[in-house]
Structure 1
Amino acid sequence: MTTTDKVSPTAAGSGASATETFRANQQHGAPEGVSAERVGTVVRAVLDSVHEAIRAHRVTYPEFQAAKKWLIEVGEGGEWPLFLDVFVEHVVEQVAAETQQGSKGSILGPYYLPGQQRLPSVAALPARPDEKGAPLVFAGQVRDIDGRPIAGAELDIWHADAQGYYSGFAPGIPEGNLRGVVVADDQGRFEISTVQPAPYQIPTDGPTGRLIETAGWHPWRPAHLHLIVRAPGYRPVTTQLYFEGGEWLDSDVANATKPELVLSPKAQPDGRLRSEYDFVLDRT
């Protein structure tokens, strides 16, 4: 695919892409069934919390109608994946992490695309010939909790470009750009060449953006690499890795940053930045 002049992605466009991707991902691997009893328990708890907030804050009918209007607009704009991934997923991830001994996880986010190009253990992510951004080498090893290397572990990696845009979710970017599945060697080692991504703001021209503005929040996420690290017989780790000193690191709109997930890239003689990070997987 050839690139075209880049246009900022809209909330509606990103929302539609995220919704389509979510549905496709469910076909790739449907989640386990949820019992009616569990649905009843969780939904009742959510409703009880909403009812309590209404009572505690003396919500008026005009405020209730405004909330109803906003909820309808989020659905019509296809922004539910965006809203839930930014404002809710980090707590679901925290609960899941309570039973995890290996590497720290973080949110998946709305911009994952499965089925990307498989690459060897030493590889460069697909990129445009004139890809902007500081050259970055990201290397490390995948091991189990006993320190043994996991041969052939997969690192499904994706990230935004130097303008904060993701392939598949913004116009003018080739399919698969800055995405790939790197297969570690027989010692679980990998070395990935790419560019350092930029911070970005979530699309703000839709109802999610209006909520952020009305609440007086900012819409920015710090620069990060996304990864799903997996191997047969092991629990996969979904995470994000950030960059020391990066903007918005201490005020991520998605509340997804953790101290253990911050990289400290070092400049190399060849002018590239290099950062190393090892992953530890739990057995299933």
Structure 2
Amino acid sequence: MRNLNQENITEAVIRSFDGAPNARLKDILSNLVSHLHAFAREVQLTEEEWTQGIEFLTRCGHITDEKRQEFILLSDVLGLSMLTVAMNNEKSAGCTESTVFGPFHVSDAPHYELGADISNGARGTSCLVRGVIRGLDGKPVPEAEIDVWQSDEDGLYDVQYADLDHAQARGILKSDVEGRYSFRSVLPVPYAIPNDGPVGQMLDQAGRHPWRPAHLHFMITAPGYQTLITHVFREDSDYIDSDAVFGVRQSLICQWGLQNDGSYLLEYDFVLQSVASDGLATPVSQCETTT
């Protein structure tokens, strides 16, 4: 540990983990140090820039609370979230693709009966969402738990309203015996990710916009199947090709059909991956549109 310099310090730090009892932790920390040091050398990181980086991460920590997760936001805009999803959610051909979780899910969303209006006062144009949840074999998945959440017409989630004391535009339902699901909510619109903090400042300085295309979030769980975390995107939405968090997949883009009464209809079928299944995804769109 004596006489360390820029040529030998990396190896010394990596050797310091030799006694780690957890082999996976040792591997992660060793590779983290290796790549982090290589990054510093490649960009010739100055002490002033290092200080600015520490201050940036500190601000991310200070703004994070039970309703806002700035570190997830940072991971999202750097593409790390989507990379992790892609590496860990390869699926068999025909299964619904996964995408980023996002920072606005809550674990205690209200439960609703099928066909209920989950908007619960959220502002926006009325929208009916329905479809079927199936396995790759085509059989319906009954009693699948469907956790759905979205923003309102102002592009804000309920948790972003400081004075709101109840859930809006989110809820948990279960598919029926034939795998069918349905609920009413509001038409999703594009929205900007929270950009009043350090991540927003970083995007601005990098010349990037903070916008996401219109979408609904879904998390679907059922015994015997892998949990699916995904979105369904509006085909006609702005930013569909420049999502700030890199979450768009072609198979998840659908048309919302305008109905005669001015409301909208989305029909989308989900195909779940069996826990026992293997294989790579060849995504197939599962949306239908009725006008």
Q: Please classify the TM superposition score into its range, dividing by the shorter chain length.
A: 0.7 to 0.9
SS at the partner of 2:160? coil
Alpha-carbon shift at residue 85 of structure 1 (Å): 4.1
Cα RMSD (Å) of the superposition?
1.8
Alpha-carbon shift at residue 107 of structure 1 (Å): 1.0
Stretches (4+) displaced over 6 A: none
2:175 maps to 184
2:149 maps to 158
Structure 2 residue corresponding to 1:148, chosen from 139, 144, 147: 139
Structure 1 residue corresponding to 2:267, chosen from 269, 272, 276: 276
Distance 1:231 1:165, change over 3 A: same
**In structure 1, how many angstroms separate the alpha carbons of the residues matched to 2:52 and 2:108?**
40
2:241 maps to 250
1:22 maps to none
2:219 aligned with 1:232 = no
Structure 1 residue corresponding to 2:72, chosen from 60, 75, 81: 81
2:200 maps to 209
SS at the partner of 2:116? strand
* Contact residue 85 and residue 110 of structure 1 kept, 8 A: no
2:98 aligned with 1:105 = yes
SS at the partner of 1:39? helix
Unaligned runs of 5+ in 1: 1-34
Alpha-carbon shift at residue 39 of structure 1 (Å): 2.0
Letter in 2 for 1:36: N
**In structure 2, how many angstroms separate the alpha carbons of the residues matched to 1:132 and 1:175?**
14
Find the structure with the greater CA-based Rg: 2
Structure 1 residue corresponding to 2:108, chosen from 115, 128, 145: 115
2:92 aligned with 1:92 = no
**In structure 2, how many angstroms separate the alpha carbons of the residues matched to 1:224 and 1:187?**
26
- Report the TM-score when normalising by structure 1: 0.81
2:253 aligned with 1:262 = yes
**In structure 2, how many angstroms separate the alpha carbons of the residues matched to 1:194 and 1:73?**
35
**In structure 2, how many angstroms separate the alpha carbons of the residues matched to 1:256 and 1:46?**
25
SS at the partner of 1:122? coil
SS at the partner of 1:176? coil
Structure 2 residue corresponding to 1:68, chosen from 47, 51, 54: 54
Unaligned runs of 5+ in 2: 1-20, 65-69, 276-291
Letter in 1 for 2:194: P
**In structure 2, how many angstroms separate the alpha carbons of the residues matched to 1:216 and 1:43?**
32
* Contact residue 117 and residue 185 of structure 2 kept, 8 A: yes
* Contact residue 96 and residue 270 of structure 2 kept, 8 A: yes
SS at the partner of 2:28? helix
1:66-97 Cα offsets, whole Å, 9 max, x none, are 11221222222222233234432111100112
Letter in 1 for 2:52: A
Distance 1:86 1:215, change over 3 A: closer
User: Relative CO higher for 1 or 2, CA cutoff 8 Å, sep ≥ 6?
Assistant: 1
SS at the partner of 1:54? helix
- Report the TM-score when normalising by structure 2: 0.80
**In structure 2, how many angstroms separate the alpha carbons of the residues matched to 1:277 and 1:46?**
41
2:35 aligned with 1:49 = yes
**In structure 1, how many angstroms separate the alpha carbons of the residues matched to 2:57 and 2:127?**
41
Structure 2 residue corresponding to 1:171, chosen from 157, 162, 176: 162
SS at the partner of 1:241? strand
SS at the partner of 2:159? coil
269-278 or 252-261: bigger deviation = 269-278
